[in-house]
Chains A and B, each alone.
Chain A
């Protein structure tokens, strides 16, 4: 399942312009499965959130209690409240309209699955695809540990983690100078940190906080409640991490576009990648 090609002597010295085999079939299948699953999870999750658009810290949290985040509507229109900060969000959050008229609901229909208020159906999408998501990441992590993909391709080296190297990579990204030729065969340190953070941090957090919201799982695995400080805290973390995952996807897509979308997307479909010319 390693993402990067097995190097051969000939390929290792391949100059820019050479087509190399970069992504194995298992990586490509896993990537596109996740792409579909994440869209389903996000959109059905937003519909589930619409059923109670308030977030709390601790074990309990309901209408009489104080939410740290709330999306709602009042006489002035839609709003997002985070702590003491209130943002007017009419048209996007809390109050928005479509061809059916004006709606008072947290996330708009174009962002949710299904597009209308339907908690039963959104839960079924979410809780069925959750199994694909959770078993996918579990299988990926186990296999990547066994075959060395994490150590070989994802874990940054000591040298890569020096401030000079990281800063150099930040500058290269900021000025859109991407690796060329042989250097493009490996992930750069910012890529490694982004992928490691997502694979080892965000996605496992997403799965574990999701499990903590299940009263059946809390009984079977009570340590989940202790790990996250209660069910409502887990629900809040689930929501925050979902937005970090959206951020990852946005940056990921931006990088694909900037680095050469046809070459990048082709490499994730056929596995073959043309090394950028030096």
Chain B
């Protein structure tokens, strides 16, 4: 139960086919699709309710004494790509975070450059979709600081996080809306619990979007792409789990 999903589950989903996933959006009575369309109502109502009652609300921040003694890892804990392994071997000295897409001034930033930007440290709770929680401390650069540098175009509606890890060759990625992208606690973290971010937790850089579940906290972030529409990105669901198993894109519940 320590993995979010079993390999058998993935294969079963694969057998149902991408056609089923696409149909789920247009035929509410197609019960053969992984997720009948009417069952997507909960996600939509929750998303709009949360934006209505607390778009700028802050996640609870904890005291150091309230932290988990042992913050478990989850998902991938060591990317297999040769490019990542080479960067890791050099301590990510040549690594650059690309920020591009629907922006006026695309940029690429080294870890040293990110470390010289304004930073934020927060002790927050990480809630896995499976049900467990862990409390840890994160330090990183607010995504809003980077967005101010690259200046998103008016049409940019989502931030997409492309990652170095994959499951059976399918790359991990995640996405959030502009409310979360500009939220005060949304940071790209390079440190955890007062130390350099460990590989198991997503080195060199992971997303913290504190009002959503664990699978949104993309690890091994290589590139932030601003887009107008998620449909054209990879599987179109806005994230790896959203595409492959039907997890909600809005994971605030």
Contact = CB atoms under 8 A, between A and B. Distances in A.
Given A124-B43, A124-B248, A216 B212 contact: yes
Interface residues of A, number: 41
A80 interface: no
Q: Is the interface of B mostly helix, strand, loop or mixed?
A: loop
A127 to B, nearest CB: 4
A85 interface: no
Nearest to A216: B252
A220 B53 contact: yes
A78 B35 CA distance: 31
A220 B134 contact: no
Nearest to A226: B60
Name the residue in A53, A117, A121, A216 with the highest tally of chain B Cβ atoms < 10 Å from its Cβ. A216
Chain A binding surface, main DSSP class:
helix
B43 A52 contact: no
B130 interface: yes
A232 B125 CA distance: 11
Contacts, number: 141
Contacts of A231: 125, 127, 133
Contacts of B128: 52, 62
Given A60-B134, A120-B34, A219 B57 contact: yes
B35 A124 contact: yes
B2 A63 contact: yes
A116 to B, nearest CB: 8
A65 B68 contact: yes
A125 B59 contact: no
Given A52-B1, A218-B59, A117 B131 contact: no
B240 to A, nearest CB: 12
Given A124-B39, A220-B57, A214 B129 contact: no
Interface in B114-139: 125, 127-135
A138 B9 CA distance: 38
B124 to A, nearest CB: 9
A121 B59 CA distance: 27
B79 to A, nearest CB: 22
Contacts of B54: 216, 219-221
Given A214-B46, A215-B210, A220-B50, 19 more contacts: A52-B1, A53-B1, A59-B135, A60-B67, A60-B125, A60-B134, A61-B133, A63-B72, A65-B69, A119-B129, A120-B241, A120-B245, A121-B35, A124-B43, A128-B39, A131-B41, A215-B253, A216-B253, A217-B252
Interface of A: 48-49, 51-54, 59-65, 117-121, 123-131, 213-222, 225, 231-232, 235
12 contacts: A49-B131, A60-B67, A63-B2, A64-B72, A119-B130, A124-B43, A128-B39, A213-B127, A220-B54, A221-B54, A222-B60, A235-B131
